[in-house]
């Protein structure tokens, strides 16, 4: 996972509902959270539902982002939380987003993915975040809201359970998972239009409210100044 490309200045502008700054932050995170949501849930419909809701929540959360790493931390963690809430919507036996084509996938690989889906929740998360998204233990810990040691333990436990199932095909299956995972989510060309549609109805009312607030304050100051000018000559000292 690359370091955030946004800086504190962009985050500060986003807190003031600057549309370009918000677009920069959201576009930067959109592909990753789409892959995570679709890959963890095993379903495109569930994953994209998670992404849409995460974007809405992020718009409400952005005034609290104080530094350049805050947006990425927020998106990682809350995407995981939302996927956890959708666990009742499981993929079908052969229709899993980590299986690119059930018609041609080896039965052993399909069985491996089914075994992955049966792991305890945090083991499944750590496995997909590490082998799919290629998050390191620190970022996995942020996403899963646990310690780095706990994230490593979950990954080791998942590997320990799945390696005997795959046997000597374990490394090949991991490669297939990563390649399939990286193809998940909308095309990059669609990212900016999707983000713009999501934020336009949120940003403008709040920018107008900010401008209205400043106009009211300025009007109040002008009114006070006028009143002082009218009253001042009549005052006796």
Could you please report the per-residue DSSP string of 120-141? Answer: -HHHHHHHHHHHTS---HHHHH
Between CA 202 and CA 195 the distance in angstroms is: 11
Query: Residue 193: how many CB atoms within 10 A of its CB?
Result: 10
Give the pLDDT mean for 130-135: 96
Q: What is the pLDDT of residue 212?
A: 52
pTM for this model (two decimals): 0.83
Rounded CA gap, 199 and 55, in Å?
8
Q: What are phi and psi of 195, to 5 degrees?
A: -65, -45
Residue percentage of the chain with pLDDT more than 90: 69
86, 46 in Cβ contact below 8 A?
A: yes
What value does the mean pLDDT take over residues 178-195?
Answer: 89
Q: Rounded to an integer, what distance in angstroms lies between the CA atom of residue 18 and that of residue 12? A: 9
Euclidean distance between CA atoms 222 and 202, whole angstroms: 31
Average pLDDT over residues 138-149: 96
């Amino acid at each position: 996972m690359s370091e955030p490309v946004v800086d504190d200045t962009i985050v500060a502008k986003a807190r003031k509902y600057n549309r370009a700054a918000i677009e920069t932050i959201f576009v930067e995170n959109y592909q990753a959270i789409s892959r995570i949501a679709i890959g963890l849930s095993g379903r495109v419909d569930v994953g994209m539902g998670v992404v849409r809701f995460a974007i809405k929540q992020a718009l409400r959360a952005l005034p609290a982002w104080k530094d350049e790493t805050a947006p990425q931390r927020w998106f990682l963690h809350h995407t995981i939380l939302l996927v956890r809430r959708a666990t009742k919507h499981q993929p079908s036996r052969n229709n899993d987003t980590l299986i690119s084509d059930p018609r041609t996938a080896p039965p052993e690989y399909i069985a491996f993915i089914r075994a992955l889906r049966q792991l305890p929740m945090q083991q499944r998360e750590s496995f997909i975040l590490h082998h799919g998204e290629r998050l390191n233990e620190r970022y996995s810990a942020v996403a899963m809201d646990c310690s780095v040691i706990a994230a490593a333990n979950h990954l080791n436990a998942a590997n320990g359970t799945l390696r005997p199932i795959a046997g000597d095909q374990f490394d090949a299956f991991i490669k297939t998972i990563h390649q399939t995972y990286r193809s998940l989510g909308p095309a990059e060309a669609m990212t900016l239009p999707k983000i713009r549609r999501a934020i336009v109805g949120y940003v403008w009312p709040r920018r107008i409210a900010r401008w209205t607030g400043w106009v009211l304050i300025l009007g109040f100051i002008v009114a006070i100044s006028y009143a002082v000018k009218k009253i001042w000559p009549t005052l006796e000292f």
